[in-house]
A and B are shown apart, each in its own frame.
Chain A
Amino acid sequence: DAGVTQSPTHLIKTRGQHVTLRCSPISGHKSVSWYQQVLGQGPQFIFQYYEKEERGRGNFPDRFSARQFPNYSSELNVNALLLGDSALYLCASSPGLHSGNTIYFGEGSWLTVV
């Protein structure tokens, strides 16, 4: 099993631009979550999707959006990039929303905004 895969692994964007990050969950997993990890801090929850519906949203501005596709893959979109958006963006997947499901993380996408 390939595990949770994310693309791209690294990217550099300019302030004001838009970015799309992609995530493929582990086969059979229907829940996908996104986290932002700023250097020196723990991951911070952005979104959770389950069966293509948004099930949770963290304290992030409307510039952040996401969606989940019929094959359960997901995209995270960030508009009007700011320098402070520079971070590691982690995708996580789990079979469902039940206690006892293990949440698996991808290796992340490193975003640098200049």
Chain B
Amino acid sequence: AQRVTQPEKLLSVFKGAPVELKCNYSYSGSPELFWYVQYSRQRLQLLLRHISRESIKGFTADLNKGETSFHLKKPFAQEEDSAMYYCALSGGTSYGKLTFGQGTILTVHP
């Protein structure tokens, strides 16, 4: 069975501070990991995926297979980063079937 855990439901930081949203997963094979973001009054959208190894809006995430983690990081948070963040996993032949974590609400204070 595949499972995604986001241990923090709420995370508050001040503008300019570093931010790290934690994600741990459980999967027996080689998963694909994603971070989705939902800004206020907008639809769920892809932020980044581990296979791209790119930085989007200053965010990066590294897949650590040893620790089964895919934490999302940004060195200097901005107020516009305030949103709901979901970590998600897609495994094996079931690409397109995403297993989501419960989400973390990030609030960046001015």
Contacts and interface: CB of A to CB of B under 8 A. Distances in A.
A73 interface: no
B44 A41 contact: no
Give chain A's interface residue range (CB within 8 Å of chain B).
20 to 34
B83 to A, nearest CB: 14
Contacts, number: 64
Nearest to B87: A42
Interface in B49-77: 51
Interface stretch (A13-21, A79-87, A102-110): A102-110
Contacts of A65: none
A42 B23 CA distance: 13
Contacts of B28: none
A48 interface: yes
Contact of A45 (B44, B45, B95, B97): B97
Interface string B1-17: 00010100000000000
B86 interface: yes
A98 B44 contact: no
Interface in A41-73: 41-45, 48, 50, 55-56, 58
Contacts of B4: 42
Interface of B: 4, 6, 32, 36, 43-46, 51, 86, 88, 90, 94-103
13 contacts: A3-B43, A33-B97, A42-B4, A43-B98, A43-B100, A55-B96, A94-B96, A99-B51, A99-B90, A101-B96, A103-B96, A105-B45, A106-B43
Interface of A: 3-4, 31, 33, 35, 40-45, 48, 50, 55-56, 58, 90, 92, 94, 97-108
